Amino acid sequence: MIKQWIGLGMIQKSEVSVGTVHTWGDGSKHKKESDGTWSIVSEKEELKESKDENKPDKITPEKAKEYYDNNEIPDGWYVHGRHDRGSGGVDDLETGYAIQSSKDWNTAEDYGRGGSMWMIKPKDTANVIDFNNPIQKKKFKNEFYDDYMNNNLPDVLQSDIKDQLIEIDDDGDEVKITDSDKIKEKLNDIAEEFDPLNIRTSAGAYDNSEWVNYLLDKKIDFVHTSDGSITLNNDAVDKVRVKE
């Protein structure tokens, strides 16, 4: 039996299948080729390997449990806890509401105690807004402002915002804001409700179905917030329940 030294110890060469990757003593990675030799794995190949491991078909309930046990969340994924309120339904994510997810297993566990925990990732085909992207966020705020000024928001949302466009004058009285610059500034502040700073403590706009409808009307499936995510369309995400 031919044996070969690969840095971490002796292995039986005939027992190693083609494509197997091992780390050598100097930290470099090598892959077994079809001719029996070992070739060094490039950074590009390592990156592809890492991405492949995070693909939905690579993350099983058992793999999700491994991530949970190790307190790890792979890139692009979020976690969510589905609490059992006595009405069942912990076996799926059909809540009827926007689904809040975070990058924190402890938060998922707190919300999913007695229920279920999930890993969630938007599909490549999902229509996504990423509020961590300054360009996308600015574009959203500009559209939000235009939609309000053109009376194109859902009726309840249009009315809610109109009621908020007030300021206190020098006499301490509430007066309607009429200055265009102040209106835009106020609307920019209101638009921040779609990007709650702490998804664990406040859902912001996503607690109000009329505000959510504004995004649904724009065919938005998924939102990356500053510290979490919002799923608006269950069919647009890959989801894996953590094995109990």
Considering the domain boundaries, does residue 133 fall inside one? no
pLDDT digits (tens, 9 = 90+) for 162-187: 888 887 777 777 788 888 888 899 99
Considering the domain boundaries, does residue 10 fall inside one? yes
Considering the domain boundaries, does residue 137 fall inside one? no
**Tokens in use for 50?**
């890492």
pLDDT digits (tens, 9 = 90+) for 91-117: 667 777 788 999 999 888 887 777 788
Angle between helices 180-191 and 134-149 (to 10 degrees): 120
By residue range, what is the domain housing residue 28?
Answer: 3-49
Return the pLDDT at 56: 55
Considering the domain boundaries, does residue 26 fall inside one? yes
Considering the domain boundaries, does residue 187 fall inside one? no
Considering the domain boundaries, does residue 22 fall inside one? yes
Considering the domain boundaries, does residue 134 fall inside one? no
| Residue at 111: amino acid letter | Y
Considering the domain boundaries, does residue 99 fall inside one? no
pLDDT digits (tens, 9 = 90+) for 67-76: 999 999 999 9
| Residue at 186: amino acid letter | K
Q: Is the pTM of this model over 0.85?
A: no
Return the pLDDT at 7: 43
Number of domains in the chain: 1
Question: Helix %, strand %, coil % for the chain, to 5?
Answer: 35, 20, 40
